[in-house]
Amino acid sequence: MKTRPRRTDESGWPDDPTAANRQKRVSAALVVFNHRLIAAIITVAPLAISNATAMAATETEPASSSSESAGASEANETGAASRHSQNYRDAFNAMMADPTDAERSFEFARVAVSDDDVRGAIAALERILKINPGLANIRLQLGELYLRVGATDLAATYLRQALLAPDIPPPLRQQAQSLLGQAERS
């Protein structure tokens, strides 16, 4: 009795359902890993930048007395967390517990804006768009925040994308048009 040679597809995987399922599972796992890696990078990069900026600012400020200098070094030891409110830290920790949860990222963005961390809010909103690219309201908020930090080209791009959404409510459409006008004038 002769056994037939096993057929393989062009990638070299055996032509059977279990191998195809295995390939799909590996691909899906890589996609999830890449999304989590991107989310982690987007979250950590703005925090590292703001920490470096804050440290550079404290190094360039002249100390008027030794007691102030001691207080400044003590403040540096407590780290970046001391500059933010407890709500900010709680929202950040909740977001980091599940970086793919859009609601937690949105809550962090809201708290970050109120805590004057616009770059952190931008990173969280960008992460939401990675998870769900069809959210016009997030594009509107990104446009507004990019306009606030002076990135008018990015602001205009996000605002135009928000205006293309067919289901954007009239008040948000007016707000987007107004912000787009500001971005184009800048």
What pLDDT digit, counting tens, does each position of 26-37 carry? 666 555 555 555
Cα distances from 147 to residues 22, 27, 100, 114, 143, in angstroms, run: 46, 38, 26, 16, 6
- The pLDDT value given to residue 72: 42
What pLDDT digit, counting tens, does each position of 63-77 carry? 444 444 444 434 443
3-class SS at 56? helix
The amino acid that residue 125 corresponds to is L
Which domains occur in the chain, in start order?
A: 17-185 (1.25.40.10)
- The pLDDT value given to residue 40: 55
Average of per-residue pLDDT values in the chain = 74
Q: Which of 11-20, 24-33, 46-55, 88-97 has the highest mean pLDDT?
A: 88-97
3-class SS at 8? strand
Range with lowest mean pLDDT among 54-58, 70-74, 128-132? 70-74
Q: What are phi and psi of 14, to 5 degrees?
A: -60, 145
3-class SS at 83? helix
CA angle 164, 167, 168 (to 5 degrees): 70
What pLDDT digit, counting tens, does each position of 110-128 carry? 999 999 999 999 999 999 9
Range with lowest mean pLDDT among 5-9, 98-102, 163-167? 5-9
